[in-house]
Every structure is written in structure tokens, then in C-alpha cells.
Amino acid sequence: MTTWARPLTLTAAGVLIVLAATGITAGVNGCGSLSSSTGRGTPDASPTDRGPCEQLLVPAYFTAPYWEAAINSKHKPAEMILNVDGVGAGTAPNKALQYLVKRAQAADVKVLGYSSTADGQRPAAEVETDVRDYAAWYGVTSVFLDRVAGTAQEYSYYKQIADYVHGAQGAQVWMNPGVYPDQDYMSIADVVMTFEGSYAQYLTEKVPNWALSYPPGRFAHTIYATPAAVLGNALNLAQQRDAGHVFVTDLVGSNPYQGLPSYWTAEDAAATAGCTGSG
């Protein structure tokens, strides 16, 4: 999830604020810039052969009405990612975002604080400052680390940060290399985002054998540029690939996460349809 330079205007509780919107990378930490059509048709919202339940993960890089729509969904998303300025927690608490986070937490939605590691090049002290600020300003202790290098060379850097986050009781570390990382990262991350890209790219995604020894809840996949007609297939593929956390959207362009997908209601219902248990 790379930083997006274009600001979004957010009005919540009568407060006008500006957020730097962020989006999800295509491939290995590269900025996704797709211009293909989202496709048309009725969402295929009847996945078959369902296994463990998928948990919906929402990158909440959008305005207040979308936050409210996600929070008020029939089946609440399990997690939402709070991104204040495209890098981390910002320089001061934001009252409008504090309100939205409290609304989400009151609905039993786990909120993750966003912090970019710039492929391991951002000073660990800056990331740790984000961790402290999210906790102090928003009551958020679990952190989504973006732009994770995922290679053996940077392992010690990420272990230092993970140990710091895990110092808070119940705090989780989510890491986003966008691909399957060096397996050692599984020892320091609670959840790893091992795919983010378009539906066309997802069709050829391969899961390494070592990943199959972990429960689905350890992995997350985000899939954009997904036409409505293949929503069910995208969700099925995510289950077959043991991704316990998933987000699918039909949005495209430089920021495919500036709102909820047009078929959010169908995705919300389909993700838990026919589940046999928890991932």
C-alpha cells in the first residue's frame, strides 16, 4: 500500500479535514496504476465449496460515509485500516478520525494503524513513534506495516519493530510485502498480506508449499479491478489459497481504495455464506 499524493476531503461530525489517501500496490511494492474497465454485470455472490469463513479486511482510506457504510454493514468487517496521512499517524490527533475509530471499535471492528516502512528504509524510531501515537490518540494498538521488504536482509529491522508493537498486550503486527516473504517473517508477523494486485494477476497467483502449513488466519489478500461478475470466483480463489482475510473491489486507477466497491453489500454477504467455521 503505497502513499497516494492526492488529498481527500473528509467531513465528519462537522469537522472538515484533509486526508492523504493511500492505495495498494501491484506486485512487489509498486504503485498500482490500472486503467482497465471494472466490468459490468450482476455480482456472482454465491461462492460454492466454501471452507473456513473469510474475514473482510477494509483499507479505510476514504471519506466518512464509507466508514459508516462499512461499520453499519449486516456482517461487520473484521478489520479496518486507519491511514491518517499516507505515512503514519500524522503530527497531531484528528478529532474526526477519532470519532470514526470509536464508532468502528464500538461495533467490534478491529482498527489497525497504518505505518509505512518504505521497504525497510524508514527509520525504525519513526515507525515506533507511529505506534505510540496511534495508541495515545486513537486507542489503536495493532499496526499494519506497509511496504515491507520481506527479504532476509531486512528481517532484523522488522523484528525490532514487531517486538516493539507486541509489547502492548493484545497488539497484532500485520505486514504487507504484497508477495510471499521469507518464511522467517511468519515468526514475527501475526498476519501477512501475501497478495495485492488486480484480479487478472490473481488468476495466476501461486502459493508456496511452506505457506500451506499455516492456518488461513495468518494470511491476507487484497484484489482490485475485479468485475462484479467474478466476485464469487475471487472469494473462492482466496479460500482455496488459504487467505483468511480478504478484500475485493471493482475500483481501479491510481487509488482503487478511495471507496467501497460498488458490490459491497454482495461481498459482505458472500464472504460468510456457507462457512463451516472460523479461519
Q: Which CATH topology does 3-31+50-270 take?
A: TIM Barrel (3.20.20)
Q: Has residue 47 got a pLDDT over 90? A: no
Q: How far apart are CA 61 and CA 70, in angstroms?
A: 12
Nearest to 59 by CA among 202, 272, 264: 264
Residue 43: what pLDDT? Answer: 53
For the packed helices 124-138 and 95-106, what is the interaxial angle rounded to 10 degrees?
70
Q: What percent of the chain has pLDDT over 90?
A: 74
Q: Has residue 270 got a pLDDT over 80? A: yes
pLDDT bracket for residue 204 (50, 70, 90): very high
Q: Has residue 51 got a pLDDT over 70? A: no
Whose cell is 524510531? That residue is: 125
Question: Rg of the chain over CA atoms, in angstroms?
Answer: 17
Q: Has residue 4 got a pLDDT over 80? A: no
pLDDT bracket for residue 53 (50, 70, 90): confident
Q: Has residue 31 got a pLDDT over 60? A: no
Q: How many CA atoms lie within 13 A of 30 on its CB side?
A: 9
Cα distance from N-terminal residue to C-terminal residue, the chain: 24
Q: Which one-letter DSSP state was computed for residue 178?
A: S
Nearest to 84 by CA among 172, 2, 18, 5: 18
Question: Contact, 114 vs 81, CB < 8 A?
Answer: yes
Q: Has residue 242 got a pLDDT over 80? A: yes
Whose cell is 468487517? That residue is: 77
Q: Where are the alpha helices (DSSP H) in the chain?
A: 64-71, 95-106, 124-138, 155-165, 199-202, 231-240, 264-270
Secondary structure (3-state) at 104: helix
Q: How many CA atoms lie within 13 A of 47 on its CB side?
A: 28
Nearest to 76 by CA among 60, 94, 89: 60
Q: What is the mean pLDDT of the chain?
A: 83
Q: Has residue 214 got a pLDDT over 60? A: yes
Q: What is the pLDDT of residues 18-27, one digit of tens each?
A: 333 333 333 3
Cell of 23: 492505495
Q: Between residues 237 and 44, which one has the greater pLDDT?
A: 237
pTM score, two decimals? 0.81
Q: Has residue 241 got a pLDDT over 70? A: yes
Question: What angle (nearest 5°) sits at the alpha carbon of residue 260, between those of residues 256 and 264?
Answer: 125
Q: Which residues does residue 16 pair with via DSSP β-bridges, in sequence order? A: 11
Domain locations along the chain: 3-31+50-270
Q: Has residue 28 got a pLDDT over 70? A: no
Q: Where are the alpha helices (DSSP H) in 35-191?
A: 64-71, 95-106, 124-138, 155-165
Q: What is the pLDDT of residues 75-104, one digit of tens each?
A: 999 999 999 988 999 999 999 999 999 999
Centroid of chain to Cα 278: 19
Question: Contact, 257 vs 24, CB < 8 A?
Answer: yes
Residue 86: what pLDDT? Answer: 87
Q: What is the pLDDT of residues 118-148, one digit of tens each?
A: 999 999 999 999 999 999 999 999 999 999 9
